[in-house]
Amino acid sequence: MSLRAEQKEQTKRTIMKAALTSLSADRSYGSLSLREVARVAQIAPTSFYRHFKDLEDLGVSLAQEVGETLMELVRQGAREVGPERDLIRASTDIFLRYLREEPHQFRFLMREKSGSSPKIRAEIKRLTEMFIDQIADFIVKEASRRARPIAEPRILAQAIVNIALYAGVEFLDAEPWDQEVIYQQFIKQIMLVSLGGEALARHREQKALRQ
């Protein structure tokens, strides 16, 4: 890549970072202004247009970036889950780390999930679905590894992701001294759902045997 292109790329990253930062300070995407982003990124308002068509375009790029991060988390999960480290413990750990390292990203994800822009919403929905698929995949693998029965892995994954997202919001909103409690409740919820999955699978197995 040419020097010029590299510099441009860097400015683009600066703008995206600026947007994410501004966004986190109790503002939703709809109330964000182009001029404010430019100010934080320390560029002239007009320069914005060299990188994005408009604010919505920037938002979609942000959503894509979040998607890439989530896929990275999935890869981490694949690496860390093993015979000695169970799926629930490993993935809740990874999730907690993500919340701590990228709170801006996560807040953006959750705000714009039901935010103003249909395009951004669509992108977020797409990546959430992909994420759920990956989790479902993990669940199936973990079950076969432990020789446990499993039923409706995708429904299970969906429930788990819903719970995780919601808990994430609560976690970031909470005062530091409440975060541990929220985290523990979160894990309990996940375990409850997993138990439900196993119970359903056993129930179905027995039904099948009886026939």
Chain residues in the site for a copy of itself (CB under 8 A): 26-31, 107, 110-111, 113-118, 121, 125, 152, 155-156, 158-159, 162-163, 165-167, 169, 173, 185, 188-189, 191-200, 203
CB of 10 to a copy of itself, least distance (A): 30
Which residue's structure tokens are 């979160």?
Answer: 186
Q: Which of 28, 44, 85, 146 binds DNA (CB under 7 A)?
A: 44
Task: By CB under 7 A, name the one of 49, 82, 119, 188 that touches DNA.
Answer: 49
Phi, psi of 33 (to 5 degrees): -115, 145
Amino acid symbol at 23? L
Question: What tokens does 103 get?
Answer: 């709170």
* Tokens at 47, concatenated: 């320069």
**Shortest Å, Cβ 15 to DNA:** 9
Distance CA 19, CA 104 (A): 10
When the beta carbons of 59 and 67 are compared against DNA, the nearer one is 59
Contact with DNA (CB under 7 A): which of 2, 118, 177, 207? 2
Confirm if 50 and 8 have CB atoms less than 8 A apart.
yes
Tell me, residue by residue from 53 to 92, as one string, x for binding to DNA by CB under 7 A and - for no binding: -xx-------------------------------------
137 near DNA, judged by CB under 7 A: no
Using an 8 Å Cβ cutoff, are 135 and 194 in contact?
no
Report the distance separating Cα 82 and Cα 142, nearest Å. 9
- 3-class DSSP state of 85: strand
Candidates 13, 21, 28, 35; binder of DNA (CB under 7 A) is 35
